[in-house]
Structure 1
Amino acid sequence: MPSNSNNQPVKNSKPWYKKSLDLSNFNLAKFFHSGLRKNKSKAAPSGVKKHIKDIRSKPMSDGTDGIGVENPDVLDIDLIKDEVPVIFDKKKNLYTLGAFALLSLFLVFEIYFFLYSWERQEIRKKAVALQEEATRLDQEITFFKAQAAPATEFKNKINNASQIFNSHIYWTNFLAFLEKNTLADVYYSGLSGNISGTYLLHSWAKDFRAVSYQLTTILKDTAHTAKAETGNAKVVGGDPSLGATFDLGLSIKPSIFTE
């Protein structure tokens, strides 16, 4: 290295890439020895175990107790297989389970309350609808009863008329019977009787012989005559030339009135 007049070394101001290479002090044995030492330091035993330790779980020290503060971001590494620590927080999980159970009970109660309210509302609606329908039917029944009163009265009249028609006496047949079975010398001045077929005819005949013939003629009509008799026969005014009066009692079969 150059020196000045005072035997002091002069600093070379040239950059490193312009400096000349000086191999006078190069020791080849030292170079190889340092290389072997580096290779030995790199070949670490494979059996060395490195442990993972989470220093965040260790209590922190601020250095006042003489211990230096560790870096919380630095983790010791443990590469051993299947040795991962599992932490189960029982208290936290119980809290979560309890909250979930309470939430489930709340939801079940809400659903039940909703369904119960909906059911009661539907029942009330149906009850109101039924009440309205019953009121409407009552009004219709009252209206139809008022309309049915005249019809009922008319029906009663028809029933009464039917009974009259059913029990109607066809006097035409009875009069035809008398006309057919009465002699020319006999006359009727009065009639009394009932629908059972028993009659009393107040009669006049020319003489007593005509009275006897009249009774015989009536009894011959057995199809209609059930019974016949005469009574109270007497001469008018005591003079036989004026004729005789008598009562003719008849029992006629009811079929004559419905033929």
Structure 2
Amino acid sequence: MEVDFLKSNKNKEKKKGPETKEIKWSKTEKEPDKSAGQEEGVVKKENGLSRFLNFLKSKLRRRQVISPDLASKIDKKAILSARKEVLKGIKKEKGTTEKTGGWFKLARKKPKPEPEKVKEEIKMKEEVKEDVEVKEEIKAKEEVKAGEIKLKEEAGDNKKQDDKKFENKIKPEKENFFKKIIARLRALATRKKGEEGEKKNNNRELSRIPETNLIRDDLVIFIDWKKNIIMLLIFAGLSFGLVGGTYWGMDKWGKDKEASSREFEEEFKKLDEEIKEAEVEVEEILIFKKKLSLASQLLGQHVYWNNFFEFLEDNILTDVYLTNKGFSGNINGQYGFAMVGKDFGSIEAQVRRFLANKYVTGVSTSQAQISQTADGQIGTVSFNLELDIDKNIFIEYEKE
């Protein structure tokens, strides 16, 4: 059987790319078929002619012509190493040994390599080919691009050089402002000189021509009033109408303005009268305001003694009463009373009652005296009471 290690058993799709020739390895020698009568281990020898033909075939296959591009892409060392590994594996599995006899080796039937190893070998070679093809395509594209870029750059450089040459050839001279003015003045001067020269020449030619009087008799110039009286009247009427219309319009406009100004004057007069009346009213209002402020001040300073008496009436106990012997006080809140109580307990109770009130700020007693009855028993107790009261009691007083 012939074994092709580069050909895969599966039907794969053909990839696009440059056509390449298939490279095949030398085929293994055919193993002689075993006949029914032969025993295992016995090898049938081939005759000398068939062995010689097989040897020539193998040599021719090895010397098959390969293109230089494909030869550069193939890694021969990798192929040889892979082939040796495959052969070693085949020998180990089958346990075959080479038997030498004479000048030629006995041909034995060699087993086929494993399909998995063959597939791996084929994949490796295909990948190598694909990488080489891709690299070559990339290089070719890069070379094409580089050539295009170079051509564009050369064309651009040539264009720039041509433009520079053209600019250098047609480079306008810079005109100066003063030079322009001087050139214009010179042109005007030359024109004037030419015109003056022409006038002088014309005058000289006219002076040479003799004068002629074409009028034989004196002419009488008169105006035909009848013919032009209509146009005169029309223009006079138009002018008078225009002047009269403008005068009438201005007079009417002036009268309207005077009437409007009179109306404004009357309104101003009315406003002045209203202002004067308002000023009188304002003076009265100001006087009333001053009176109110004075009254409020007096009311603020007024002392309501009724509140003070109500306070005493509400806070003096039934066992204690006032006498007419003495009373002193002022609006600052300090008061003194002469009072009489049933006993000392009533005096103490009265002092506590005053201290409990919120308007009282201080209480003190003095000069307490005990009176005796005719039977010699203890009677009433007379004393002086001094109070310090808040001044607001005269304005606002609230019962507790």
Whether the TM-score (by the shorter chain) exceeds 0.5 is no
Which TM bucket (shorter chain)?
A: 0.3 to 0.5
TM-score (norm 1): 0.43
TM-score, scaled relative to structure 2: 0.31
Instruction: Between the two structures, name the one with larger relative contact order (CA 8 Å, sep ≥ 6).
Output: 1
More helix by share: 2
